[in-house]
């Protein structure tokens, strides 16, 4: 039977409010409190309409299992509790079933969990799409591209141990069935300044540490690297090791992922050589040197590092050394070569390192795209996943933060536009009247930054291209002139007098009021970072390398393709990239994931309300809720609404037979909900105020309780009826069995009566026949008697003739018979008592009866002994048998025997079963106990005595500690070969064990007991009963015992006893043990 599917709803068992659109009342405090309440209960996902708000838990949660994937698969977005899988499933099904291209925008600050969210989206899509060898290969390549890009583009920051230092947009391409075909990755603004300098507490990109930690010694030698981090200037040492991160394991993971994605071995080696070259560039140091003409120039201090870099890259050492010392400027047909001072040389070195690494990263992205791109040219459906930096507000904000925040302004602009557009399209689709929604339009801020004439980026490019002295201060002066009157721009040097008194704003800074709040930027470095210049000498030196990858990274270094045109600035490149990205996003259906970091400590179970509030503000989440609630706060298809609330109306419960919309209308009219609180669309019901929805939920909850009571009542009635019918059936069965039993008894009585009648009839017939037979017999006997008498008369007549001749003999025999008769009658009256020990016997009356008299005495004695024995019980017989056995074993052999004759053999002297002290011993011994006696065990080494409990059972001899009852030794009866004792009046005896048995490890046992005769007798009888072999009882004043490997002679001597009747034992040497007995 299939497992019952239990459907839940977003509104069931809510912790807080699952959808912020339903939050009532709506305020910043209630918004934060709702997030905190859900976070404290491990509910990290919350909806704002179709937007998912995700809070980083900083710990693994059991909500991403394959079972969860199946739970959210093909389910309505609001059908289950909020989850990133619900949004992923909604996007995937819209792409597959409705042929709509999708994009998933993941935003948030560093450490908020954007990268993990993008991985979860991709893993969910990979799990629910089709199967097959080719499809699985594509999915594996798409998933394994993440570890490669993370290694080269992620770094440890103070906010995140795996922070993405670049923006990533991946288009995953699907066929008409929804199976992945391939993908295309776009990267934005790699933070290449991190290559040469990292803030305190942060690391360089992961790949540097992974190579040094995980590469083999052979590979390190090939790359001319050492494992010690401190050898490299580009690596910060204060955070070189990260808790919970194993760089060596991650390096193997990256190598494996590169192989899966499709990198060849020589390509991987080339990439690692470029990374090693970048790492070693930081170790090149310069020293100043004056020329003859008075100009300063720089020289490399130690050329060994330069030599190794040239060996790695295949560059001529003199060419690269000159590129670090001179700069050639070309203007039309003229070339001017100038020397570089130390500062300029360091700038050139760092510029080369940054460009080399950033171009390598771009090449990696291009190479991955070649591997994962779709191989077919059929029409494709596209799902884009955007994982890009969130809004950043630091203490020191520079050019990178300015560019990142500009990108977020554009994303916020498109977010508001697409959200409003989606709302408007749904209203039009559902035929609901559209009302204008007031919201803050950040287009004015975007225009301040990107305007082609007066925008900040345009001013920066203009300043970079202007001849003459160009500095960051001249750029700020230009901004003060052009943007002074803009309401979202502030500067201390601005002509607007209201800012002149703002002492919190330094002279070298300007402030922009973004949608997320005010951000102050330091202009230092703006011009240099925007220029991003790499001297042409270095480009040409790189192009001359024999290293194919490095040569491909610097195509502008080709002398045949010299272009005197200035390359585009970093700001203009990023502006163009953002424009392309926005254009791409506007062609797709958007899905949003807003990531929030709960604390700066990267710790679980900590919710910093101030930090979360800051992020909620700059993510514009409250603005998003207000936009969603400006029209109708909640909407739901008629079928789902009717299914959820149909129990509130008698007409719709339990089944509504008509259209779903008509059922909802009947339901709402029955509940008397004001008409201004809802509107009917084509396929959905729209509810304006969350209070109305919560009222419905309260009514539903109360109705469910009533229905539960009704179900319980019906169930109890059914249960009672079932019980009654069961008892009724049982009564019928019992009655039938009773009637059957009664009829059986009646039949038995009739049968018995018939048998009795039959027996009486047969008896009467038998008796009649018997009488007839007796009569016939009497007749025969009478005839026989008459004949006998007749024959007797005839014989007596003949006998009289011969009587006189035999009379003497007859008289003798008669006299003898009378004497015997008198003898036996007198013996009858003179018989002695029946006691077997009575020695009396009547005197012989006649000499000729002597033999008869003795035989009668013997027979009578045997007879009265038998009569005496017949009076014994089985237990008495056993005791006398044991006494008899003891007599046979020890009589006239052991001096102690006569004293034991009058002592009864009790056996169980300790009463173990009654004594609670020995409960543990009783539980351990399962067999019947024959002997339970305290004996003195003789120490084999020194002859000292120790009290032990001696237990004899049917199969074993056991020794236990007298105090604790713990069993010390257990010897099977089959291992006992002999018992030895002296002939003296002592209780000393030895138990000999079979050699090689488990119990004979320490040797034979020596004991002393007050009941020696009884113990030896019972041991003899029990051994004979179990093994069918007689136990050898040796009685001698000298005998041998086995102690481990030695045979020791036990010798009994006359002496004084120190401990009462206990024999005194003394070990003379390794071969003799003397026992002093009285």
**Residues with a known catalytic role:** 110-111, 115, 160, 163-164, 390, 392
- Is 131 exposed, middle or buried, given 0-12, 13-18 or 19+ CB atoms closer than 10 A? exposed
Closest CA to 992 of 953, 1042, 946: 1042
In 3-state terms, the chain is what percent helix, strand and coil (to 5)?
Answer: 50, 15, 30
Residue 1056 neighbours by CB under 8 Å, 6+ apart: 1064, 1076, 1078
- Token readout for 22 is 């339903």
CA–CA separation, 481 vs 253, rounded Å? 54
DSSP 1031: P
**Which distant-in-sequence residues (6+ apart) come within 8 Å of 999 by Cβ?**
969, 970, 971, 972, 975, 993
- Which residues, 6 or more positions from 446, have their beta carbon under 8 angstroms from its beta carbon? 406, 409, 410, 413
| Nearest alpha carbon to residue 203 among 166, 273, 246, 154 | 154
In angstroms, the CA 930 to CA 939 distance is 25
| Dist CA 966 CA 949 (whole Å) | 10
- DSSP-assigned states of every residue in 115-137: HHHHHHHHHHHHHHS--SHHHHH
- What is the end-to-end Cα distance of the chain in Å, rounded? 89
The span from the CA of 126 to the CA of 142, in Å, is 9
CB 860 within 8 A of CB 831: yes
What tokens appear for 542 in the block? 């790189």
Strand partners, 929: 953
Residue 6: which residues within 8 A CB-CB, separation 6 or more?
none
| Cα distances (angstroms) measured from residue 872 to each of 244, 245, 877 | 87, 90, 6
DSSP for 955-994?
Answer: SEEEEEETTT--EEEEEEGGGEEEEEE-SSS--EEEEEE-
Residue whose entry in the numeric block shows the structure tokens 């008198």: 822
Q: Is the peptide bond before 654 cis (omega within 30 degrees of 0)?
A: yes
Pairing of strands 509-514, 489-491: antiparallel
Residue 237: φ, ψ to 5°? -95, -20
Task: Please answer whether residues 516 and 409 qualify as being in contact, where contact means their C-beta atoms are separated by less than 8 angstroms.
Answer: no
Which secondary structure element, helix H or strand E, spans residue 739, and what is its range? helix 690-803
Rounded-to-integer distance, Cα 429 and Cα 423, Å:
10
- Measured CA to CA, the distance from residue 529 to residue 398 in angstroms comes to 10
Rg of the chain (C-alpha set): 57
The whole-angstrom distance between residue 468's C-alpha and the CA centroid of its chain comes to: 69
For 897, the token pair is: 């025997």
For the beta carbon of residue 767, count every other beta carbon within 10 angstroms: 10
Q: For residue 1069, which of 941, 938, 939, 982 has the smallest C-alpha distance?
A: 941
Other Cβ atoms less than 10 A from the Cβ of 316: the count is: 13
C-alpha distance from residue 650 to each of 390, 644, 662, 695, 710 (Å): 52, 14, 14, 18, 15
Specify the DSSP element, H or E, that contains 169.
strand 167-174
Residue given tokens 């002074």 in the structure block: 484
């Amino acid at each position: 039977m299939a497992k019952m599917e239990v459907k839940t709803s977003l509104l069931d068992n809510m912790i807080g409010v699952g959808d912020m659109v339903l939050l009532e009342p709506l305020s910043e405090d209630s918004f934060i409190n709702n997030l905190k309440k859900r976070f404290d209960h491990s509910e990290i996902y919350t909806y704002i309409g179709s937007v998912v708000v995700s809070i980083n838990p900083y710990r693994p949660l059991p909500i991403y299992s394959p079972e969860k994937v199946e739970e959210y698969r093909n389910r309505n977005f609001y059908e289950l509790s909020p989850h990133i899988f619900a949004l992923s499933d909604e996007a995937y099904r819209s792409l597959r079933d409705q042929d709509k291209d999708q994009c998933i925008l993941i935003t948030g600050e560093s450490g908020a969990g954007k990268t993990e969210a993008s991985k979860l989206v991709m893993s969910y899509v990979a799990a629910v799409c089709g199967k097959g060898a080719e499809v699985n290969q594509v999915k594996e390549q798409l998933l394994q591209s993440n570890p490669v890009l993370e290694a080269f583009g992620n770094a440890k920051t103070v906010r995140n141990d795996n922070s993405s230092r670049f923006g990533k947009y991946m288009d995953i391409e699907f066929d008409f069935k929804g199976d992945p075909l391939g993908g295309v990755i776009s990267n934005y603004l790699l933070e290449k300044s991190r290559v040469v300098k990292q803030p305190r507490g942060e690391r360089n990109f992961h790949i540097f540490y992974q190579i040094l930690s995980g590469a083999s010694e052979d590979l390190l030698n090939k790359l001319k690297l050492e494992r010690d981090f401190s050898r490299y200037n580009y690596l910060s040492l204060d955070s070189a090791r990260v808790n919970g991160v194993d760089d060596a394991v991650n390096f193997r993971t990256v190598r494996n992922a590169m192989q899966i994605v499709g990198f060849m071995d020589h390509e991987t080696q080339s990439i690692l050589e470029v990374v090693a070259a970048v790492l070693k560039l930081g170790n090149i140091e310069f020293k100043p040197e004056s020329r003859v003409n008075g100009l300063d120039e720089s020289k490399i201090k130690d050329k060994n590092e330069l030599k190794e870099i040239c060996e790695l890259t295949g560059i001529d050492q003199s060419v690269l050394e000159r590129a670090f010392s001179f700069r050639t400027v070309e203007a039309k047909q003229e070339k001017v070569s100038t020397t570089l001072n130390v500062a300029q040389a360091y700038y050139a070195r760092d510029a080369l390192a940054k460009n080399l690494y950033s171009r390598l990263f771009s090449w990696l992205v291009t190479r991955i795209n070649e591997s994962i791109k779709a191989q077919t040219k059929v029409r494709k459906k596209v799902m884009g996943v955007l994982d890009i930096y969130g809004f950043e507000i630091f203490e020191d904000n520079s050019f990178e933060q300015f560019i990142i925040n500009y990108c977020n302004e554009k994303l916020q602009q498109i977010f508001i536009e697409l959200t409003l557009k989606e709302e408007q399209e749904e209203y039009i689709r559902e035929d609901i009247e559209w009302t204008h929604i007031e919201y803050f339009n950040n287009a004015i801020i975007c225009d301040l930054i990107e305007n082609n004439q007066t925008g900040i980026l345009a001013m920066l490019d203009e300043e970079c291209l202007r001849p003459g002295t160009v500095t960051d201060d001249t750029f700020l002066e230009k901004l003060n002139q052009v943007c002074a009157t803009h309401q979202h721009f502030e500067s201390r040097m601005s002509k607007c007098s209201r800012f002149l008194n703002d002492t919190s704003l330094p002279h070298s800074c300007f402030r922009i009021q973004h949608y997320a709040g005010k951000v102050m930027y330091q202009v230092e470095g703006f011009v240099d970072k925007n220029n991003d210049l790499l001297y042409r000498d270095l480009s040409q030196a790189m192009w001359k390398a024999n290293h194919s990858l490095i040569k491909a990274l610097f195509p502008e270094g080709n002398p045949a393709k010299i272009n005197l045109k200035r390359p585009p600035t970093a700001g203009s490149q990023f502006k163009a990239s953002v424009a392309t990205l926005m254009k791409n996003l506007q062609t797709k259906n958007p899905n949003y994931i807003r990531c929030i970091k709960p604390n700066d400590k990267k710790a679980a179970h900590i919710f910093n309300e101030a930090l979360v509030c800051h992020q909620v503000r700059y993510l514009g989440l409250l603005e998003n809720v207000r936009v969603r609630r400006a029209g109708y706060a909640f909407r739901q298809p008629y079928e789902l609404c009717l299914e959820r609330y149909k129990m509130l109306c008698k007409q719709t419960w339990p089944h509504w037979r008509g259209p779903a919309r008509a059922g909802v209308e009947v339901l709402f009219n029955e509940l008397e909900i004001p008409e201004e609180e809802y509107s009917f669309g084509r396929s959905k019901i729209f509810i304006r105020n969350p209070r109305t929805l919560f009222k419905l939920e309260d009514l539903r909850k109360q109705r469910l309780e009533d229905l539960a009571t009704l179900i319980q009542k019906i169930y109890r009635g059914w249960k009672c009826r079932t019980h009654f019918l069961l008892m009724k059936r049982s009564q019928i069965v019992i009655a039938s069995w009773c009637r059957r039993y009664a009829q059986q008894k009646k039949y038995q009585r009739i049968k018995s009566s018939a048998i009795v009648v039959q027996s009486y009839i047969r008896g009467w017939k038998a008796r009649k026949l018997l009488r007839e037979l007796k009569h016939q017999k009497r007749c025969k006997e009478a005839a026989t008697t008459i004949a006998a008498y007749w024959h007797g008369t005839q014989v007596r007549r003949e006998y009289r003739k011969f009587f006189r001749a035999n009379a003497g003999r007859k008289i003798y025999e008669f006299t003898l018979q009378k004497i015997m008769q008198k003898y036996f009658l007198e013996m009858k009256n003179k018989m002695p008592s029946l006691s077997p020990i009575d020695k009396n016997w009547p005197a012989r009356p006649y000499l000729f009866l002597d033999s008869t008299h003795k035989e009668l005495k013997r027979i009578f004695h045997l007879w009265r002994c038998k009569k005496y024995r017949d009076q014994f019980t089985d237990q008495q017989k056993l005791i006398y048998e044991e006494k008899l056995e003891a007599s046979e074993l020890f009589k006239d052999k052991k001096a102690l025997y006569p004293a034991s004759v009058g002592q009864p053999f009790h056996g169980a002297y300790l009463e173990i079963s009654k004594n609670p002290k020995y409960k543990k011993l009783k539980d351990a011994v399962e067999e019947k106990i024959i002997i339970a006696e305290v004996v003195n065990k003789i120490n084999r080494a020194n002859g000292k005595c120790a009290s032990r409990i001696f237990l004899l059972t049917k199969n074993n001899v056991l020794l236990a500690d007298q105090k604790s009852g713990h069993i010390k030794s257990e010897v099977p009866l089959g291992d006992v070969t002999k018992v030895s004792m002296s002939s003296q009046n002592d209780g000393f005896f030895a138990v000999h064990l079979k050699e090689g048995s488990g119990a004979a490890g320490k040797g034979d046992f020596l004991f002393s007991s007050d009941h020696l005769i009884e113990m030896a007798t019972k041991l003899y009888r029990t051994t004979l009963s179990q093994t069918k072999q007689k136990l050898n009882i040796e009685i001698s004043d000298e005998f041998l015992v086995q102690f481990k490997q030695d045979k020791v002679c036990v010798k009994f001597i006359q002496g004084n006893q120190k401990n009462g009747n206990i024999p005194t034992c003394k070990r003379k040497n390794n071969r003799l043990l003397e026992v002093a007995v009285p």
